[in-house]
């Protein structure tokens, strides 16, 4: 039953991604958090995210704008390394306290509180347009790469900042999409290598059935979403998913997840 639920929510998350403006990783992370510890959830999400981007890279990779990829992608890899290292360091910190409310016990862990805060910030950016980052100067591409890669390594949230910087660079539609995909692949490869060496190892092998199921379901959801018509507006889905992220983040921050 758990495998069926994961398949359904992975497909739904992939489908919603087509309309919401969120990245696949942004939605899948809280879904996996319902079933796995934080570190495992982030790593599994990263693998699904990587495989999905590799598939898209095969389709669009020829449109990549290589100068932008180098100026943005290399700093992104450095940022992803730093973010993944910070995630590992936070997992080693002990709980900072606990609270009992009736039959419920809340444990406050630094890593969960930090990830919860990041999730809430990115969710609020979707709910409140004025909080979204303004398109910066193209001269700041390396800085944008470092920032987006850092949050990608820490929590998997890299798409919002990456798009905010790349959109200002004057790339055509195909080049914009392809370059963003290739940058995401670079970030995913960097962070996943550190996740595996630092903290997960055999955990990923133990969850290979779940991983395969989620990946194939995500592909199916993306295909279904590309062929179906929907009456739900882009903005409505953004709000629904943002509220979901905030609720999951609050549960994570207070130790319920």
Reported as a single tens digit per residue, the pLDDT across 189-230 is: 998 888 877 755 446 667 888 889 988 988 887 777 656 645
Q: Inform me whether the pLDDT recorded for 114 exceeds 70.
A: yes
Q: What is the pLDDT of residues 219-244, one digit of tens each?
A: 887 777 656 645 556 566 556 666 76
Using CA atoms, how far residue 105 sits from 34, 38, 182, 257, in Å, is 17, 18, 43, 11
| Average of per-residue pLDDT across 89-95 | 78
Summary mean pLDDT of the chain: 77
CA distance 188 to 153: 8
Total domain count for the chain? Answer: 1
pTM above 0.85, yes or no: no
Token pair 């903005």: residue: 235
pLDDT at 18: 54
Between CA 183 and CA 72 the distance in angstroms is: 7
Beta strands in 47-201, from DSSP E residues, in sequence order? 97-101, 104-108
Q: If you average pLDDT over each of 52-66, 114-128, 158-172, 189-203, which comes out highest?
A: 52-66
Using pLDDT thresholds of 50, 70 and 90, give the confidence band for residue 70.
Answer: very high
- The domain of 177 spans 2-94+102-253
CB atoms within 10 A of CB 176: 18
């Amino acid at each position: 039953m758990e495998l069926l639920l994961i398949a359904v929510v992975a497909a739904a998350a992939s489908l919603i991604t087509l309309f919401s403006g969120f990245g696949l990783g942004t939605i899948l992370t809280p879904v996996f958090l319902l079933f796995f510890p934080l570190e495992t959830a982030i790593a599994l999400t990263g693998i699904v995210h990587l495989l999905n981007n590799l598939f898209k890279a095969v389709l669009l990779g020829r449109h990549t704008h290589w100068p932008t990829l180098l100026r943005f992608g290399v700093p992104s890899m450095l940022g992803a390394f730093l973010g993944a290292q910070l995630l590992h360091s936070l997992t080693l910190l002990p709980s900072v306290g606990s609270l009992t409310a009736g039959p419920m016990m809340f444990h406050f862990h630094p890593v969960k509180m930090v990830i919860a805060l990041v999730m809430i910030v990115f969710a609020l950016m979707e709910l409140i347009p004025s909080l979204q980052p303004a398109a910066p100067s193209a001269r700041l591409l390396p800085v944008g790469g470092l920032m987006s890669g850092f949050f990608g390594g820490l929590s998997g949230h890299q798409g919002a900042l990456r798009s905010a910087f790349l959109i200002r660079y004057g790339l055509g539609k195909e080049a914009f999409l392809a370059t963003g995909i290739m940058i995401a692949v670079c970030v995913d490869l960097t962070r996943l290598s550190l996740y595996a060496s630092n903290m997960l190892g055999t955990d990923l092998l133990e969850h290979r059935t779940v991983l395969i199921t989620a990946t194939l379901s995500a592909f199916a959801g993306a295909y279904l979403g590309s062929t179906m018509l929907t009456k739900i507006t882009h903005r409505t889905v953004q709000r629904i998913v943002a509220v979901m992220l905030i609720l999951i983040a609050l549960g994570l921050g207070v130790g319920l997840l």
